[in-house]
Structure 1
Amino acid sequence: MNLKQLEAFVQVAEGGSFSKAAKELFLTQPTISAHIAALEKELNVRLFVRNTKEVSMSDDGRELYQYARQIIDLQKKIEERFESGKDGGKHLITIAASTIPAQYLLPKVLIQFNEKYPQEQFKILETDSSKVVTQIVDHVADIGFTGTVLEKKHCRYIPFYKDELVIITPNTEKYRKLQEESVGNIKWIMEEHIIMREEGSGTRKEAQKQLKHAGIVTDNLKIIASIENQETIKKSVRQGMGISVLSKLATADEVEAGFMLAFPIPKADKGRDINLVYNKNYQLSRSAERFIKVVKEVYDIER
């Protein structure tokens, strides 16, 4: 018997679900099942009564729960007591994030996390979406934030924010007239110079997908530049170099100030998912688990 088994048991008991317990503890459902099976074998009792709709505790399970809950509570008290020291309580969480979450979504999380756990430290690695996933797979980072889901083994993605893309243009008479006359039609972009985000960018991949849904063949676009820094892209658009497709979140200030215009993409859905990602093959540190819980709290994600 060990703490991980008891922790799994308590989560299943309180949530009434093996899958919910797996999400809460950042483990796979088979791992939760294995923990419960090991407990039942060691104690020679049946802890849960299972049917197709729900999981409920047996009489032995209810008795064990009283003890297990006390042990888990005591474990937390020990952690809080001995992680509060000036040096011993400091842990480094390495976070890899693509541009949009790094610049516009993470700051809100970092502020709240720092208020709740001032002894914790974090390191932010800003890169493109594909490299974020690579760093998670290679265990370079503990937690990642990306706008792209890549089918990599061991990665678990948790969508937490919907990011809408828009076509941005200079705020000139030409584009103001287009905004009035071409509602729901963006065929005109075929004649424009296009500035795109770099290859590997989640924004670029999503832009290509949404433009295709709107009937725009992206191979036929007049792409004149691929730029990594979105601030450079926005400045280039403002100065008339071309138009671009960027996150609505990233362009809101410039559009509100009247420096640029934003056109919605027809037939686009509610936006792309920005995802939190971590490697299921590695045990998350308590600090990383806490960070994920704060993300869920800030962006109101169901546990």
Structure 2
Amino acid sequence: MLNEFKLLVFHKVATEGSFSKAAEDLFVSQPAVTKQINSLEDELGIKLFERNNKGIVLTAAGKLFLEHAGVILSQFKRLKNDMSLLSEQVSGELTIGASTTIAQYVLPPVLAQFRQANPSLKLTLLNENSETVENLLQRHEINLGIIEGLPKNNALQYTLFIKDELVLITHKASIYYRLEACSLNDLRKSDLVLREKGSGTLEVFEDFIGQYGLSLNDMNTLIQLGSTESIKLFLKHADAIGVVSIQAMKEEIMRGEFKVIELEEGRIFRNFYFVHEKGTSEKLVSSFVSFLKNRYNVQV
């Protein structure tokens, strides 16, 4: 019968390219590894490995099975972590400060699930720009920050969460909607809508164009707004291009209401970070961070 251990043994042998190394990593005997692989091949009715002068290699079937085995093992791990968190309910008050994109488009579904798993927990989410979130942490007004942009405060600890992408967008009624791509030089001549000073989105965009010798002063900025939703609403009534997170635009792009204009110089990536004060550790914060990482399939 196919089970987690059999998959794990196969995955180890396939990635290590050695029965003996897999046995060593799994703290079992080599005959035990061989037995599991033989049982798996018998169950599937097909050979997963073959020998050559370099050792063992995957067959075509083995390569396909490896792809699926990796996904299944990852889901096993996520399931066990989730069950562990659910069986160890946490309580108390958790106040999170998150920059706008994260607070509006990333956290709400996960907060609902975390609250359902921990019914005695009181949750508060503050929606601020990255700079303000860092200040709130240092004033001990929040337990955890989750921000976009570049780490810059030496008094705080930053831990990578997930990657995000900034994109150029325009509304279907705009004169720019016909564009498929543009260069930074083209963008300089276009009307832009950007986020406000202090936002992680603006900071990352500024850093990107700086790599090409440009500054915000070189851009034709119509207006700077305090949220992505404000940018979207503004663009519905203006011939302009906005710079926002792809997280905020998935539904509108699928509907054809907005489109992404590719940037010829390349894509603009950024990181989302967990932020807390150095030297601090709270079980409640750790539980939430683990829960959030599991939801986004981040290696814990």
Give TM-score, length-normalised by structure 1: 0.64
SS at match of 2:299: coil
Q: Within 5 Å, give how 1:147-186 maps onto structure 2.
A: 147-172=148-173, 174-179=175-180, 183=181, 185-186=183-184
Alpha-carbon separation, structure 1, partners of 2:267 and 2:260? 17
Alignment-mate amino acid for residue 217 of structure 2: D
Work out which of the residue numbers 252, 255, 279 in structure 1 matches 2:253: 255
Alpha-carbon separation, structure 2, partners of 1:168 and 1:114? 34
**Deviation of the 1:279 alpha carbon:** 1.2
Question: How many equivalent pairs are there?
Answer: 215
Partner of 2:127: 126
**Deviation of the 1:178 alpha carbon:** 2.4
Cα deviation 1:197-220 (Å, max 9, x = unaligned): 110000011111223345654321
Cα deviation 1:119-147 (Å, max 9, x = unaligned): 21211111000111111122211011100
Task: Judge conservation of contact 1:100–1:250 (CA < 8 Å) in 2.
Answer: yes
**Unaligned segments of structure 2, at least 5 residues:** 1-85
- Closer/same/farther in 2, CA of residues 91 and 268 from structure 1, 3 Å limit: farther
**Deviation of the 1:300 alpha carbon:** 2.3
Alpha-carbon separation, structure 2, partners of 1:265 and 1:240? 20
- Closer/same/farther in 2, CA of residues 140 and 224 from structure 1, 3 Å limit: same
Partner of 2:270: 272
Give TM-score, length-normalised by structure 2: 0.64
Task: Judge conservation of contact 1:163–1:273 (CA < 8 Å) in 2.
Answer: yes
Cα deviation 1:146-191 (Å, max 9, x = unaligned): 0023332342212121111111122247424321xxx463422222
Task: Flag as ranges the 4+ runs of structure 1 deviating above 6 A.
Answer: none
Alignment-mate amino acid for residue 295 of structure 1: L
CA RMSD after TM alignment: 2.5
Q: Within 5 Å, give how 1:75-86 maps onto structure 2.
A: none
- Closer/same/farther in 2, CA of residues 259 and 269 from structure 1, 3 Å limit: closer
Percent identity among equivalent residues?
25
Cα deviation 1:5-50 (Å, max 9, x = unaligned): xxxxxxxxxxxxxxxxxxxxxxxxxxxxxxxxxxxxxxxxxxxxxx
**Deviation of the 1:247 alpha carbon:** 0.7
Partner of 1:189: 187
Cα deviation 1:67-116 (Å, max 9, x = unaligned): xxxxxxxxxxxxx99x97xxxx7411010001111011112321331233
**Unaligned segments of structure 1, at least 5 residues:** 1-79
Alpha-carbon separation, structure 1, partners of 2:272 and 2:186? 29
Q: Within 5 Å, give how 1:48-87 maps onto structure 2.
A: none
Matched, 1:288 2:257: no
Alpha-carbon separation, structure 2, partners of 1:233 and 1:184? 20
Alignment-mate amino acid for residue 144 of structure 1: G
SS at match of 1:271: strand
